[in-house]
Chains A and B, each alone.
Chain A
C-alpha cells in the first residue's frame, strides 16, 4: 500500500515536469495555428532571446528557493549590474573590465543577501526586500535618474549577435543561457555543493546535524544568484543598448514565477533547472502570444498574475499530497 502510493507519487512528480512541458507545447502549437507569425524562426528566436536573461537569473533564484529562501532583489540587481558596466565603459575602463565590474557588483549584492540571511539571521524575505530597495536606490543615485546611452558595439554584441548555425542565426544570449543551464544543472545534481543545497532545503536541522555548514551553503546560493542575475542584467543591457535606472522593474516577480511554475517548491528542497527553463519559456510565450493575439497590453499583468497563482495552487496541492502521506 505504502509502496504503491509512493510509486504513484513519484510518477506524479515526474509528470510535473512533463506536465509543464506539455503546457508549453500546447501553447506553441495553439499560437502557431492561431497566428501566422508565431512559428517563424525570427519570432521563436526573439522569444528565446527575450526570456534568456530571465531564465539565467531564475537558475540562480531556484537554488535560493531550493534552500528554502527567496531573493526579491534580483530585478534591482539586474538593473544595477548593467548600469555599473555601462558607466564603467563610459569612463573608458574597457569593455572587459567593465563586464567584470558588473558581474562583481551582482555577486557582491548576493553575498550581502547571503550574509544577512545566514549570519544576521534575517528572514530572506526581509533581507532581500531591503537590498532590493538599496540596489534600486543606487541605480537612481549614481545616474541622477538618467539612462546611460550610446554603448559601444563591442558590448552590444553580447546581446545582439546571432551565431550563424545550420543556416539559422542563433542569438548569443540563448547560447549563454543554455550553457549556464547545463552548468547549473551539473552543479545542482552532481557536486557535493548541489547535494548540500537540496539537503539544507529539505531539512535544515537534519542537514546541520549531519555536519553540513548550512550558513555557508546559504551564503553560496545567494552569491551565485546575484552573480547569475548580473549575467542576465548584462545581456539585457547589451540587448537594449541602454542602461536605464528603471530597467528590470518588477522582474523579480517574473523570475520567481518562472522558478515556481517550473516546479521549484517554495517550501524548499525541490526544483530542477529544466523545470525552471520551461517555466521561463511559458512566461515569455504567454506574453508574446498575448501580443500576437491582440490581447490588450494593459491587461497582461493580470493574466500573468493569475497564472502565477495557479502555479502556486498546484504547488500547494502537491505539498498537501505529501502531507497526507506523511
Chain B
C-alpha cells in the first residue's frame, strides 16, 4: 500500500536547538499512526510543519505521491490536512454550525447571497450531516460555549471533515478528557478510519497508543529512532526507544546535602480534577525532583502549594508548623519562592530593569522610613549579578534585553534575595543554552548545600536523575512512584510517568 503522506528528511532549527534532524514520517489511509516521544522530542514541531504552522528548513513532503509545499495552515487545510489542537480554535459565542463553516458559510441564493447573506438552514443541515458521520449527538444551532471539552473536540473533528480532510492530526487529544470521553473519542477515531481517513495521533499515554494505533513512530531529540507496526511493538521497546540515551556528562554529580530536618510537608493536597491527594516531605538541603509528562499535574501541584491557585483541601507544614497559604503573598512571607515555567510571562517584568526585578519580592524589607533604600537595593542586585554571573551591561538594563539564561538567573536572584527556606523550580533550564544550563545547575546545587529545600520539576529525564536526591513521579494528578537517586532510571520513571505501570 502506498502512503497517503510521506515526509522525507525534514529538518527544522530554532535558535540554539535542532528541533528536527532529517526526520522521515509516513501515514496511510484508513490507519492510525501514533507519534510518540518525550517532551521536546520534536513531535509537535513535526506536526506543525505538516499543518503549515511552521516552515521546514529542508526536506520534502509528498501528499498522495505529489510533492507539496505548505504555505500556511489554511493552505494545508484546503489540501486535506487538518489539525485538532489541544487548545481549540473555536469562537465560543457562535453556534456549532457557524464554527464548522467559519469563513466558508453557505450563502443564500440570488442577490441576497451576493450581498453576503448566509443560508443558515443549509449551514445547519450540512453541519448535522458531518456531526452524524462521527456519531456526535450535538445540535448544530447550539452555542459552542455551552459544550463540554469533549463536545468541542467533536466540533473540531467535524470541522476537519468539512474540509474533506484526508489526514487528521490529533495533538494530545485525550489530555483533557475523562475516561468515558476517551472511549467516545476512540469510537470516533474508529469511524474516521472506516471513512478512509489517515489519523495521526500524538500522545504520551502509551496505553492509549497501543489500543488505537496501527503504526507507531518514535522520535527522540529531534530524530526518528524507530517506526513499527503495533503488532511488532511492545511498551518496553517503545519506552526504550523514547528515553535511551547516555546520561550526558554536563550534569556533574554532586554530593548530597540532605539534612535530617523536614522543611516542608504537604498532606492530602487536592484540587478537583487536577490534583488528587498528594503527600510528600521535603528535607533541608534536599533537591526533590518531580518527573512526569506534560499535563500530569506537576505545575498545578506546585502552584497550589505556592498559593497561586486555590486548593480544595490539604495541609502544608513548614518546619513542623502548620501554615495557611492563600496567595503567593502568603507563600513569600513564609519564605517560599517559585521560579515559574514561563519565565517571560510569569517570572519577570520585562519592562522593568534588572535591579527592580531582583528586588521585587523584598520591597517591604528595603524600606527606609517611607522610601525604598535604593543604595541597598543596588548593592543587593549588584551582589547577585556578580554571584550568579548575570551578563548585563548595567543594573538598569531592562530584563527584556537579556538572553534566556540570564533572564532565568535574574528570576533565581529575585528569590535568593528573599533568602527562602523552600524554593520551587518549574522547568528551570527550559529553553536556555547549554552553558547557562550548567551554571543554573551549579547554582541549584549551591542553594541546596546552603540548606534550602528545593523542589525541581523537569521534563528532562537526565536532568531530574542527575540533580535530584529523590524523585517523585506524577501521572494524572497523583504521585505514582518515588525513587531514591540510586534506584532511578529513565526507563523506570518513564514507565510510571506514561501510566504503563501504576
Contact = CB atoms under 8 A, between A and B. Distances in A.
Nearest to A7: B393
Interface stretch (B39-47, B143-151, B310-318, B362-370): B362-370
Interface string A155-198: 00000000000000000000000000000001000111011101
Interface stretch (A23-31, A56-64, A116-124, A208-216): A208-216
Nearest to A193: B363
B492 interface: no
Given A209-B338, A211-B332, A191 B370 contact: yes
Q: Is the contact region of chain A dominated by helix, strand, or loop, or is it mixed? A: helix
Interface residues of A, number: 30
A316 interface: no
A10 B372 CA distance: 24
B328 A203 contact: no
B308 A195 contact: no
Given A186-B371, A190-B371, A213-B327, A195 B360 contact: yes
Interface string A260-300: 00000000011000000000000000000000000000000
A298 to B, nearest CB: 40
Give the interface residue-count category, chain B.
35 or more
A325 B397 CA distance: 14
Residue in A10, A206, A212 whose Cβ sees the most chain B Cβ within 10 Å: A206
Contacts of A198: 349, 351-352, 356
B398 interface: yes
Contact of A190 (B333, B359, B361, B374): B374
B302 to A, nearest CB: 11
A6 interface: yes
B12 interface: no
A210 B236 CA distance: 43
Contacts of A2: 401
A208 B347 CA distance: 10
B329 A325 contact: no
A55 interface: no
Given A205-B346, A211-B361, A199 B356 contact: yes
A269 B360 CA distance: 14
Contact of A206 (B345, B366, B401): B345
A206 B360 CA distance: 10
Contacts of A208: 308, 327-328
B350 interface: yes
A196 B360 CA distance: 8
A202 B351 contact: yes
Nearest to A186: B371
B352 A210 contact: no
Contact of B349 (A190, A191, A194, A203): A203
A211 B347 CA distance: 11
A33 B331 CA distance: 62
B477 interface: no
A207 interface: yes
Interface in B327-346: 327-329, 331-333, 338, 340, 345-346
Contacts of A6: 393, 397-398, 401
A14 interface: no
Given A195-B359, A213-B329, A269 B349 contact: yes
8 contacts: A5-B401, A191-B367, A192-B363, A203-B348, A203-B351, A205-B345, A208-B327, A212-B328
Given A192-B366, A196-B363, A206-B345, 6 more contacts: A2-B401, A3-B401, A191-B371, A194-B372, A203-B351, A212-B360
Interface of B: 306, 308, 327-329, 331-333, 338, 340, 345-352, 356, 359-361, 363-364, 366-367, 370-372, 374, 393, 397-398, 400-401, 414
Q: Which 5 A-B pairs have the closest CB atoms?
A: A211-B332, A202-B349, A192-B363, A190-B371, A202-B351
